Structure 1
Amino acid sequence: MSQALAILKDVFGYHAFRGRQGEIIDHVATGGDCLVLMPTGGGKSLCYQIPALLRQRAGEGVGIVVSPLIALMQDQVAALTEAGVRASVLNSTLTSSEASAVERDLLAGRLEILYVAPERLMTPRFLDLLGRARVGLFAIDEAHCVSQWGHDFRPEYIQLSVLHERFPDVPRIALTATADALTRDEIIERLALDDARVFISSFDRPNIRYRIVEKDNARQQLLAFIKAEHMAADGTHDSGIVYCLSRKKVEDTAEWLQGHGLNALPYHAGMDPGTRQRHQARFREEEGLVMVATIAFGMGIDKPDVRFVAHLDLPKSMEGYYQETGRAGRDGLPANAWMAYGLGDVVQQKRMIDESEADDAFKRVSSSKLDALLGLCETAGCRRVRILAYFNETSEPCGNCDTCLEPPATWDGTREAQMALSCVYRTAQASRVHFGATHLIDVLRGNASEKIKQWGHDKVSTFGIGKDRSVHEWHTVFRQLIAQGWLMIDHGGHGALLLGEGAREVLKGERQIILRRQASKPGKSGERAARGARTDHTADMDADTLANWEALRRWRTEAAREHGVPAYVIFHDATLAELARTAPGSLSDMEGIPGIGASKLERYGQAIVDTLSRV
């Protein structure tokens, strides 16, 4: 461990391990296999990078890191190279001559860490190449990709058990940020990790504030959220990611945000590859850019200063939501996870499951995962408690989510639930077909439209019995009844609603239905609760410190441009802020500042001293 701590300090610039990092590193460095579950931003990379360096320097061989994410490979290799590590990557972005050079370095033992895409790793040629090289460690990142129950299944990951078969004496570490019990079991089975230790860190990301709002013109709500919490008086704004379900919605939303003065770009798999790559590069390298994207974007982005992740559509599962929101605040500083959610989201996701070509078992699992996420959306309790409970972790109310900061009121909705369920039954009984929420709400409110009359629903007993509730209130009731399982989406019925199991108990008055009170429109209270979500390193700086900060930022921009890497690869904002405050006058004064290892001190130390001396 003394050697591991020396690498942590000299290479990465930190002085102590976090959580179970030290225990994991010791286990893998001494030859043990393990599965590591650790949240995004929790320091997973160090759990394989330090053992790889320890084993390579002990003569055991190179550390091979399997990752499906080209952008993440490039980010991590750039960061390792800046820190003085001999790291490289083999993926589809390299020319044949570049790939050949990397392979020669591998065989010659000149590499300490090599990142490889799973498709290349599994080729007979590359496996033979590994057989001729010295390999000290296999790290399988994003290990949930091996599970068909996970949220991002990749078929090529299933073949990775061959590593154990061909290299039985090489330790393996599989890592993921999101895996429920079912997914964990499949990871262990598929990767032949039966004898491996399992390390589960807390899934809590206390720096992230979770907020879920009822949809009511979602784009306007999004814009109000960004302006209230992530935009400065001069119009500059934080970096963020906005997730949408469809490619068209991505493009329309990005254009709409641009029209309202935001620096926003679209990203989805259907774009021209060159444009998509340029947009991703800009997001990595620029500050204050909002990327509007499908879930195809973000997994490979190691950008530490993403201050918010917003969802305009409901994700498919709790794992997907947790993984996507986890891309905010990787630097540990305050960040927001914001989502607008409505009845249409529930209907759409249920329909997507029903209409998929998957078998019944997969549909059942998908439905249960979606139900868990709906439970999070509709809970009147702490959001964080609900998220952590999904991953089998108990916790106390956090005091840093919307339901903790402004606890929602609940009400006895049994009467309204009986009206809604009875309307589903009566309209289907009268017409022999089932109807969606919009039609049912028209019946309940007594809207005698041509369609209502055509079906004879102006004659059913539930016509007009709910006229005292607004359309929006009824949407809220129906959404919660679906989330609680009292109503179901009809298979192939275009959003038509059926009575769920137990609905008869509600209709007979044997079950009480408690619903969340409809949220009030966002106002001063919501803005007040959000204060502190935006990170401002300059908030407590005096004039001299602020001048140092600005000078160091200009220097970092130039250094990043010169080295061809994002600014955060040079130094994170937190490191830059500490340099501005301490204003070191010599290289020795910088020792001990988090994020400055030996290589970076040697490479940039004098330039920092010179920059500060000119302020």
Structure 2
Amino acid sequence: MTPRQSAPDDDNPAGATASVRTRRIREFARDVLGFEEFRPGQEAAMQAVVSGRDTLAVLPSGAGKTAVYQVAGQLLDGPVVIVSPLIALQRDQVERLAEIEDRAGRAAQLNSTLSAGDQREVLESLQDGTVRFVFLAPEQLTKPEVVDAISEAKPALFVVDEAHCVSAWGHDFRPDYLRLGGVIEQLGHPTVLALTATAAPPVRAEIVERLEMRDPEVVVAGFDRPEIRLEVDHYADAHGKEQGVLDRVLAEIGEGRGPGIVYSATRRGTEEIATQLADRGLRARYYHAGLNKGDREDTQRAWMEDELDVVVATTAFGMGIDKPDTRFVIHAEPADSLDSYYQEIGRAGRDGRPALALLVYRQEDLGVRRFFAAGIPPEEELKQVAGLVQAAAAAGIEDGVDVKALREETGRAATPLARDLNLLEQVAAVVLDDDGTAHPAPEGPPPAEAAEAARELAEQHERMDQSRVEMMRGYAETRDCRRQFLLGYFGEQLDEPCGNCDNCESGTAYEDAGPAEDTPFAVGTPVEHSEWGAGAVMRLEDDRLVVLFDEVGYKTLGLAAVTENDLLRARTP
């Protein structure tokens, strides 16, 4: 349900005039959260949500995304449901809300660590108004009894935190997020707020589509984090690069510019780097998904309590890591995309003080990312899975086919099988129940057609992923201003070199710097290419432009070749 619509008054912000909403938003933010002023995008998102409009807010790391639902949720008529992917992240937000519970209302978690009785108590408290904010993982919403109980509570606001997880283009894709759109409809479509710190245009579009958002307000604050210095150190061989990582960490800590995070692409890499740093006297630990839960939690606790100089981690040390005084983030290998890179370096300098984002780069390391980006299932494999689902239905098995049965029948591992089912679901060939059981979609295509469509979709995903790896290479190897390059990836044009990256310091960023000559292709212009189809201009330089194509991803084109050969034409969006 949407918030009540009645005569404008102070008790009904959704029906109130804009001036009344603004006054109440600012009063609550000031009196309860202590805000002297809003950060870019915050108030616009709050205004949209409080007026009852679905909202996608893309706000930089450290820009106070949680304040949007804390304020807006307080001013709406009903409880707030927040989908958050990590229990640790949920716990952190509940603890923060507990500090203002007397004004904002009680918050609670609903997750697998609670007993059945405690889970029932949370849901009952949500229904009777004792709990105003409930945090849960998307897996909880696969349980019909949970959805039914939340529906009875009549939530006013449904928040999807880390919303890029809903997108197959996103760098933290989570299949359970795919079903949130259906859950939102089951709840009567309360106002939806999707939050993320980084979302390139195709990710934004898929978030809106997957969550079935209605005429959403899209608030995109500036992506620039000018306090973060951007650098890339280049190495020709593996040994030199490994030593380079150690030297830079030791230098940063030695100069008192710690603590910091080092990201490595592999578990083995985290262990080796952390061990060598510890041997050199630093308080260093490694962190990856292969460690047991207790060790991971203890490392995270030690990090937050200033007991460590550096954590060396895979991206498993990611969402929910909010330590404002982190002074550096060093990547021992390139990230899989600039989306991921921006998210990861955004953990530095959240206190607004100077910080460093360094990529230690060897060109050969991109091969690892290209390998991870590759992976198209064979068409016969997809056809087999679709055929088994349809055969079960034809045999009168009304409960559908569960993943365990499919694994036994196909002899395939759980992860690739889940990928196949997700692809088939996206092409409307199968329907996955809350528990993952598969049914054929009503009026869905036959297995052969479904397999062909699913493979084409997988190929499209791979083209996009590979193009993003190439943009990561472009960032590492550019002689232009790195901040201009990074912001351009997200469609934000920075007119002048930033002055706070290594290329600006060396002077190469100022060679031929300046706006492009007259061109019909300004940033944001929808364009059409004869081979690559529809796209939009993302970045414009003096002699080239970057276009994000719907089907093939990012392409860098020489401006002279484009104009001389009429390669692009402007189109009506």
User: Do both share a fold (TM > 0.5)?
Assistant: yes
Match of 2:249 in 1: 226
In structure 2, relative to structure 1, the CA distance for the partners of 1:290 and 1:97 (3 Å cut) is farther
- Structure 1 CA distance for aligned equivalents of residues 258 and 63 of structure 2: 22
Which residue number in structure 2 is paired with residue 402 of structure 1?
502
CA displacement 1:385-439 (0-9 Å, x = unmatched): 001100000002111111112234999xxxxxxxxxxxxxxxxxxxxxxxxxxxx
> Residues 118 and 354 of structure 1: is their aligned pair in 2 closer, same or farther, counting only changes over 3 Å?
closer
Distance 2:307 2:360 in 1: 25
Alignment-derived partner of residue 417 in structure 2: none
Amino acid aligned to 1:361: Q
CA–CA separation in structure 1 for the residues paired with 2:180 and 2:333:
34
Identity %: 41
Give SS of 2:229's match. strand
Correspondence for 1:449: none
Aligned residues of 1:32 and 1:171 also touching (Cα < 8 A): yes
Task: Specify which of 458, 477, 484 is matched with residue 385 of structure 1.
Answer: 484
1:370 to 459, 464, 469: 469
Where do residues 571-590 of structure 1 align in structure 2 (5 Å cutoff)?
Answer: none
Task: Give 1:15 shift.
Answer: 1.6
Partner of 1:68: 85
Name the TM-score, length of structure 2 as normaliser. 0.67
For 2:186 and 2:375, the matched residues in 1 are separated by 41
SS at match of 2:233: strand
Partner Cα separation in structure 2 for residue 110 and residue 410 of structure 1? 59
Alpha-carbon distance, 1:287 to partner: 5.1
The number of aligned residues is 407
Partner SS, residue 41 of structure 1 = coil
Matched, 1:312 2:332: yes
Q: Is the 8 A contact 1:109 1:134 kept in 2?
A: no
Q: Which of 1, 4, 7 is the aligned partner of 2:28?
A: 7
Tell me which of 139, 149, 156 is aligned to 1:129. 149
Q: Which has the higher helix share?
A: 1
Partners of 2:307 and 2:504 lie apart in 1 by: 31
In the alignment, the residues of structure 1 paired with residue 376 and residue 289 of structure 2 have an alpha-carbon distance, to the nearest angstrom, of 20
Q: Distance between the aligned counterparts of 2:250 and 2:268, measured in 1?
A: 24
- The aligned counterpart of 1:541 is none
| One-letter amino acid matched to 2:497 | P
Q: After TM superposition, give the deviation of residue 353 of structure 1 in Å.
A: 3.3
Superposed CA offset, 1:259-279 (max 9, x none): 111111111111122212211
Contact 2:162 2:195 in 1 (8 A): yes
Q: Which amino acid aligns with 1:17?
A: F
Q: Distance in 2 between matches of 1:44 and 1:306?
A: 19
Cα distance in 2 for residues equivalent to 1:356 and 1:70 = 32
Cα contact 1:5–1:15 (8 A) shared by 2: no
In 2: Cα distance, 1:259 partner to 1:106 partner: 51
1:51-100 superposed Cα distances (whole Å, 9 cap, x missing partner): 01111xxxx11111111122221111111212334212112233334333
Question: Rg: which structure is higher?
Answer: 1
Q: Is the 8 A contact 2:480 2:509 kept in 1?
A: no
Structure 2 match to 1:200? 220
> Residue 61 of structure 2 is aligned with which of 26, 35, 40?
40
The answer as to 2:190 corresponding to 1:170 is yes
Deviation at 1:288, TM superposition (A): 4.4
Partner SS state of residue 19, structure 1:
coil
- Partner of residue 206, structure 2: 186
2:289 to 255, 263, 269: 269
Q: Shift of the alpha carbon at 1:381?
A: 0.7
Q: Which whole-Å CA distance do the structure 2 matches of 1:76 and 1:115 have between them?
A: 8
How far apart, CA to CA, are the structure 2 residues paired with 1:334 and 1:281? 24
**Bigger shift: residues 26-35 or 1-10:** 1-10
* Paired AA for residue 254 in structure 2: M
**Residue in structure 1 matched with residue 127 of structure 2 by the alignment:** 107
Instruction: Find the residue that maps to 2:52 and give its secondary structure.
Output: coil
Aligned twin of 1:477:
none
CA 1:410–1:12: 2 relative to 1, 3 Å: closer
Distance 2:58 2:78 in 1: 25
Could you list the per-position Cα deviations for residues 352-371 of structure 1 after superposition, in whole angstroms to 9, with x for gaps in the alignment? 43466483222211111111
* 1:350 pairs with 2:370: yes
Note if contact 2:504-2:510 (Cα within 8 Å) is conserved in structure 1. no
Contact 1:237 1:288 in 2 (8 A): no
The alpha carbon displacement at 1:140 in A equals 0.7
**Separation in structure 2 between the aligned mates of residue 39 and residue 409 of structure 1, nearest angstrom:** 24
Question: Does structure 2 retain, via aligned residues, the 8 Å contact 1:35–1:199?
Answer: yes
Structure 1 counterpart of 2:81, which letter? I
- Equivalent residues in 2 for 1:163-562, closer than 5 Å: 163-168=183-188, 170-215=190-235, 217-232=240-255, 238-286=258-306, 288-354=308-374, 357=377, 359-395=458-494, 396-408=496-508
Q: Distance in 2 between matches of 1:273 and 1:169?
A: 36
Letter in 2 for 1:252: E
1:171 & 1:352 partners in 2: Cα distance? Answer: 37
Q: Would you say the 8 A contact 1:243–1:292 is kept in 2?
A: yes
Paired AA for residue 81 in structure 1? A
Query: Is the Cα contact below 8 Å between 1:87 and 1:111 reproduced in 2?
Result: yes
Opposite residue 171 of structure 2, the aligned amino acid is H
Amino acid at match of 2:26: L
**Cα distance in 1, alignment partners of residues 472 and 506 from structure 2:** 20
Match of 2:37 among 13, 16, 37: 16
Distance 1:206 1:230 in 2: 22
Q: Are 1:91 and 2:190 counterparts?
A: no
Q: Among 92, 96, 117, which residue is 1:79 paired with?
A: 96
SS of alignment partner, residue 153 of structure 1:
coil
- SS of equivalent residue, structure 2 residue 32: helix
Counterparts in 2 of 1:129-168, with a 5 A limit? 129-168=149-188
Corresponding residue SS for 2:327: strand
Name the CA distance, whole Å, in 2 between partners of 1:130 and 1:204: 38
- Give me the whole-angstrom Cα distance separating, in 2, the residues matched to 1:336 and 1:257: 19
SS of the counterpart of 1:65? strand
Once the two structures are superposed, residues 223-260 of structure 1 have per-residue CA deviations (whole angstroms, 9 ceiling, x without a partner) of 3323333435xxx7622111111111111111111111
Rate the CA distance shift 1:354–1:110 in 2: closer, same or farther, 3 A.
closer
CA pair 355-61 structure 1, distance change in 2 beyond 3 A? closer
Question: In the alignment, which residue of structure 1 is the partner of 2:70?
Answer: 49
**What is residue 518 of structure 2 aligned with on the other side?**
none
Decide which moves more: 248-257 or 279-288.
279-288
**Which structure has the higher relative contact order (CA within 8 Å, separation 6+)?**
1
Note the C-alpha offset of 1:168.
3.5
TM-score of the aligned structures, taking structure 1 as reference length = 0.63
CA contact (8 A) 1:70 1:300 kept: no
Counterpart-to-counterpart distance in 2, 1:370 and 1:284: 32
SS of the residue corresponding to residue 156 of structure 2 reads: strand
Letter in 2 for 1:52: G
Q: Answer 1 or 2: which has greater strand percent.
A: 2
1:207 is displaced (CA, Å) by: 1.2
Query: What's 2:422 paired with?
Result: none
CA contact (8 A) 2:41 2:57 kept: no
Is 1:116 aligned to 2:216, yes or no?
Answer: no
